[in-house]
Each structure stands twice: as structure tokens, then as C-alpha cells.
């Protein structure tokens, strides 16, 4: 089996769509010898902020000498980003081996009419690989929701976090933040330890507190009055908390709250016996990196790449642009058809002098012409591009040396555009 054939086998499960429920994952784990019971975990759910917190915590654990797995969704540049140990992606050969070992179990379940989905297979590969490689701990990012998400097959984790909750995937999770919070609270297990993002829409905290009380779980909420921001610029955020001076390369005021959640998770892990020094904590925060999350690829002209596809992400982008990016701004935007592109564009559209729309190479993507039609309601000029290179050429011609290029929208768009941007800019 080649690497491409392995990925095609995984992708073939997309035909079966998304199916809520853990019965298939439990059956698959049993077929594989229960690898999910051989590793300790940190489990993170929420609408926004999951990736940042998972990256911060895994970076700190790695810096502290623990063999640390990281499972994220979606990937940006390479499918293998979903599976990482100590900051390194799974090799192509290892992924082939994982598919060759797990696929017979998938076929056995098929024969029993237990049909494993693509995301369930991806999650199973991650759990099996982490156990096989002897990870001390793994950080798991929930794919969607919580209760019925494939990652929730794990036993009670060392620590869990519920990040910022807003309306997203409403067809699956519910059309109120309280319903969505209840679904996401499904990762809270009996006797667990949970950190709640400190700023939530009305009703969310009550739901999470109620679930924690009912399941005898500890609830930790960061006290932002004890966190002081010391510096903010295009290179990240410096702040003081718990008597420590820390720096995260992530942009935006929300990232201080994300970092506060990560700090609470680290405190819980220390209480669970993990040896994490203040020095390793600070260094882990400093070294944390996520491609295409408020990523500065060039400073002259300024080029900012941000993958984010819901209204919450749009609000964060607006805040960053208002704080750090004065002057003329041109955007390249691509979105998925099942996302609320109108709400996102209503938030940020007026900040751009021009929006150039593209269609990512994904069956769920929104056509460039359709997206331009939506964008034209909020921006003085919105034009579709036939290709990503054409969009980039158009944008660079418009901004000159003193303007700013903002590439934003779907992570699929970010994955296609980022290599072109890296080729174009050399001062990163």
C-alpha cells in the first residue's frame, strides 16, 4: 500500500457521512485491543479556541519531557498534521502501517453492519498510534460537539476544557447556545476535572456548572482579574499570571483567555503528578505554533493568514485588524457552503477596501461567484478569482508596499493559499 492509497482508504469512509454516537467507536476500540485505555489524555471541546489551547498544553508537556501526542482537526497543510507526537507528524510509512493494521477491523465491523465514518477512523488511528508509540499523555481536540464525538470514547481524562461556545453546526448540535453547551458538556465525565473558558454567552456557565455538579466533577474557571496584559503587538501577547511572566505568539485579546485556560489545565496536571516547572511552562508557551492561525507571513507588505470559519472567528479577526492593521486592507476569502459566510462577512467585510473570493478545492466549498455576491453586501468591491494564483496577483497589485493582505476563511482555503504566500514572501 502506498501513502496515497492509505489516505484514499481513509477518505473512502466519507461516503458514510457523520453519524452521532459512540457505539461504532467502542466497537472499533474493542477490535483493536482498547488502545484508548493505555494512554492518559487532556480533552478539549468548544466552538473556538480549541486548537490554541491544545497547542499550548501539548507544547508545555513536550517541553517538560513527556512524550506527548496531539490530535487536531482540521489539518491545514498536510493530512498528517492530525497525528503528532512531540511536535512531529506521523510519517507516511507509519500512517500506511496504521491503515494496514486497522482496516481489517473496519471490514469486520462492516460485515456486522457497523459502519465506521472517516472521522471515527481518523480518531482510531490517532489513539492506536499514541498507544503503540508509548505516549505518556495525548491532547485531543474534539471534532464536533462533545457527547457524541468520536474522541469521547476515551475514559475520564486527566483534565478537560470547555472553550468558548457559540452557534456552530446548529443542524447537529442545536440552535441555542444552551443546547450546544449541553452537547459539548458530554466530555465531562464522572469525577473529572474541567476548565471552563471564562467568557461565555448567557446560559452557558449555568449548563456546565449543572453538569459538573451532577457528575461530581471539579469545575475550574480562570480568574481574569489575576491576569495582566503587559504587551500586545503583531508578534504576540505578553502577560503576567500566577506570578509568571509569559508570552504567547498568538494574536488577539481572546488568546490571553485561551492561555488562562491552558494555565488552569497545567495546574490540574501538576496536581495529578505531572512534573512541570515554571521554566518549562514559559518556554512551552513561547514555542507554541499553529500555521494559519493569525499567522504573520510578511511585514512589508503585511500579510496575515487566518483560518476561521464561523462568526466567533470573524469577531476575533476584526479585533486584531482594528488593533494592529491600520490603513488599506485587501482580503482573499474562501468559505465552505455549510458555514454562515454572511454573518462572518457582516462582521469583517466593511474593514476591507476590496474582497477577492476564491473557491477551495473541496466538495463543500462555496463558489467564488456566490461568495462575491454575499461579500458585495458588506464591502465596497468584491470580485471572484478563477484561481488562487490569480487572486494573489490581484491582491498584491491592489495593496502595494504599504497596504495589508488578509487571507481568511476556511482552513481548506488557508491550506491551498499558504504555500503560494510562502513562495511570494521571503521576510518571514
Q: How does pLDDT run along the chain (428 residues), one tens digit per residue?
A: 999 999 999 999 987 677 778 999 999 999 999 999 999 999 999 988 899 999 999 999 999 999 999 999 878 778 999 999 999 999 999 999 999 999 999 999 999 999 999 999 999 999 999 999 999 999 999 987 788 899 999 999 999 999 988 755 444 454 688 888 999 999 999 999 999 999 988 889 999 999 999 999 999 999 999 999 999 888 889 999 988 999 999 887 788 999 999 999 999 999 999 999 999 999 999 999 888 888 999 988 999 999 876 777 888 899 889 988 988 899 999 999 988 899 999 999 999 999 999 999 988 899 999 999 999 999 999 999 999 999 999 999 999 878 999 999 988 899 899 999 999 986 54
Pairing of strands 159-162, 193-196: parallel
Query: Is 355:381 a contact under the CB 8 Å cutoff?
Result: yes
Report pLDDT for 169: 47
Which position has the grid cell 490569480?
390
Report pLDDT for 175: 62
Q: pTM here?
A: 0.84
Report pLDDT for 393: 95
Can you tell me the distance from the alpha carbon of 382 to that of 316, in angstroms, rounded to the nearest whole number? 22
Query: Is 69:137 a contact under the CB 8 Å cutoff?
Result: yes
SS3 290: coil
- And the C-alpha cell for 142? 474534539
Say which residues have a Cβ less than 8 Å from residue 102's Cβ, sequence separation at least 6: 28, 32, 121, 124, 125, 128
SS3 334: strand
Say which residues have a Cβ less than 8 Å from residue 423's Cβ, sequence separation at least 6: none
Can you tell me the distance from the alpha carbon of 206 to that of 204, in angstroms, rounded to the nearest whole number? 5
Can you tell me the distance from the alpha carbon of 399 to that of 16, in angstroms, rounded to the nearest whole number? 44
Q: Please report the sign of the dihedral spanned by the C-alpha atoms of residue 29, residue 32, residue 37, residue 43.
A: negative
Count the neighbouring beta carbons within 10 Å of the beta carbon of residue 289. Answer: 12
Query: Is 252:227 a contact under the CB 8 Å cutoff?
Result: no
SS3 349: helix
With 0-12 / 13-18 / 19 or more C-beta atoms within 10 angstroms meaning exposed / middle / buried, residue 30 is exposed
Amino acid at each position: 500500500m502506498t501513502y496515497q492509497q492509505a489516505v484514499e482508504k481513509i477518505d473512502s469512509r466519507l461516503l458514510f457521512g457523520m453519524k452521532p454516537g459512540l457505539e461504532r467507536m467502542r466497537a472499533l476500540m474493542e477490535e483493536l485491543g482498547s488502545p484508548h485505555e493505555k494512554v492518559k489524555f487532556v480533552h478539549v471541546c468548544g466552538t473556538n479556541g480549541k486548537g490554541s489551547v491544545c497547542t499550548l498544553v501539548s507544547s508545555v508537556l513536550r517541553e517538560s519531557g513527556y512524550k506527548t501526542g496531539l490530535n487536531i482537526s482540521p489539518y491545514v497543510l498536510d493530512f498528517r498534521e492530525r497525528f503528532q507526537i512531540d511536535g512531529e507528524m506521523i510519517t507516511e510509512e507509519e500512517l500506511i502501517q496504521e491503515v494496514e493494521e486497522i482496516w481489517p477491523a473496519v471490514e469486520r465491523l462492516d460485515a456486522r453492519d457497523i459502519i465506521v465514518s472517516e472521522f471515527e477512523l481518523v480518531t482510531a488511528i490517532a489513539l492506536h498510534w499514541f498507544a503503540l508509540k508509548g505516549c505518556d499523555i495525548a491532547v485531543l481536540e474534539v471534532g464536533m460537539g462533545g457527547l457524541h464525538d468520536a474522541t469521547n470514547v476515551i475514559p475520564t481524562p486527566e483534565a478537560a476544557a470547555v472553550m468558548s461556545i457559540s452557534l456552530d453546526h446548529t443542524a447537529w448540535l442545536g440552535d441555542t447556545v444552551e443546547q450546544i453547551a449541553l452537547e459539548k458538556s458530554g466530555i465531562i465525565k464522572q469525577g473529572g476535572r474541567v476548565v471552563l473558558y471564562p467568557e461565555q454567552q448567557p446560559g452557558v456557565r449555568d449548563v456546565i456548572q449543572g453538569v459538573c455538579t451532577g457528575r461530581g466533577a471539579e469545575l475550574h474557571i480562570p480568574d481574569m482579574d489575576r491576569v495582566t496584559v503587559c504587551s500586545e503587538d503583531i508578534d504576540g501577547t505578553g502577560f503576567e499570571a500566577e506570578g509568571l511572566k509569559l508570552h504567547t505568539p498568538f494574536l488577539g485579546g481572546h488568546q490571553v483567555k485561551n492561555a488562562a485556560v491552558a494555565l488552569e489545565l497545567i495546574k490540574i496536571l501538576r496536581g495529578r503528578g505531572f512534573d512541570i516547572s515554571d521554566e518549562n511552562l514559559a518556554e512551552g508557551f513561547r514555542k507554541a505554533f499553529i500555521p494559519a492561525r493569525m499567522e504573520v507571513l510578511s511585514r512589508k507588505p503585511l500579510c496575515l493568514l487566518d483560518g476561521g470559519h464561523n462568526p466567533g472567528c470573524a469577531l476575533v479577526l476584526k479585533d486584531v485588524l482594528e488593533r494592529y492593521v491600520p490603513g488599506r486592507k485587501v482580503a482573499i476569502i474562501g468559505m465552505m457552503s455549510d458555514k454562515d459566510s454572511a454573518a462572518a462577512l457582516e462582521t469583517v467585510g466593511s474593514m476591507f477596501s476590496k474582497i477577492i473570493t476564491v473557491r477551495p478545492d473541496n466538495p463543500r466549498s462555496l463558489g467564488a461567484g456566490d461568495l462575491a455576491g454575499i461579500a458585495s453586501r458588506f464591502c465596497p468591491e468584491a470580485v471572484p478569482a478563477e484561481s488562487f494564483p490569480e487572486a494573489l496577483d490581484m491582491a498584491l497589485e491592489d495593496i502595494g508596499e504599504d497596504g495589508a493582505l488578509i487571507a481568511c476563511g476556511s482552513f481548506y482555503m488557508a491550506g491551498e493559499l499558504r504555500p503560494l504566500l510562502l513562495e511570494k514572501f521571503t521576510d518571514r
